[in-house]
Amino acid sequence: MNVKIEESWRKRLQEEFDKPYFERLATFVKSEYSHAHVLPHGSQIFYIFNACPFEKVKVVILGQDPYPTPGQYYGVCFSAPEGTAIPGSLANIFKEIHQDLGKPIPASGNLDRWVAQGVFPMNSILTVRAYETGSHRNMGWEIFTDAVIKKLSDEREHLVFMLWGSYAKEKRPLINENKHLVLTSAHPSPRSAEHGFFGCKHFSKANTFLQSKGMTGIDW
């Protein structure tokens, strides 16, 4: 199957695109777009891959579902477009960065400035019906994004993986911890941030690790 995606990713993921599960997934997603309100826009499904080539990734942040509210999700996990309200989880991420590094809390929830520095925030599921969280679970996206995590773990070294919440922590076995730093905590959601996300200091820990490997840290 021919999927339009940035070349460094395409050559590594073509084997996934050619597998039967992905053919079934693509058929399902096309059908959903044809008769339901599906997020994000079709051209944005692989936005994070096109914005952050494989070799540039430094930090991987794993999420689960896209935001199901129209206008909030454009293909970058936790991020929100310029001019839209900052979602609760992202507001808590900004609070933790402020507490951890002393940085002012941004007025915009757009995380493209992180992506440009090598931060790769990826949801496990890349599409969703509007207002129906989890509506595209178990259709094949998880198989695909697990393969992405495995590729990054196997073919890169000295990456930072941030696993927030029980769902993201389930991905830990896919990562070679002899090569990479894995940081885990509670999810930054307003329901759980008080139970271990606040105070996790993941952002300073990530930069300390990257700098110890001769890389520049992230300007969070």
Phi, psi of 97 (to 5 degrees): -60, -40
Question: Which residues is 183 bridged to in the sheet?
Answer: 162
- Alpha-helix runs per DSSP H in the chain: 7-17, 20-35, 47-51, 88-101, 112-115, 141-155, 165-169, 202-212
Number of residues in the chain:
220
Active-site residue among 18, 65, 112, 146? Answer: 65
CA–CA separation, 26 and 46 (whole Å)? 13
CA–CA separation, 204 and 97 (whole Å)? 8
Torsion angle of C-alpha atoms 215, 12, 153, 65, degrees rounded to 10: 100
CA–CA separation, 94 and 100 (whole Å)? 10
Q: Is 65 tagged catalytic?
A: yes
- Count CA atoms within 13 Å of residue 84 on its CB side: 18
Give the catalytic positions in this structure: 65
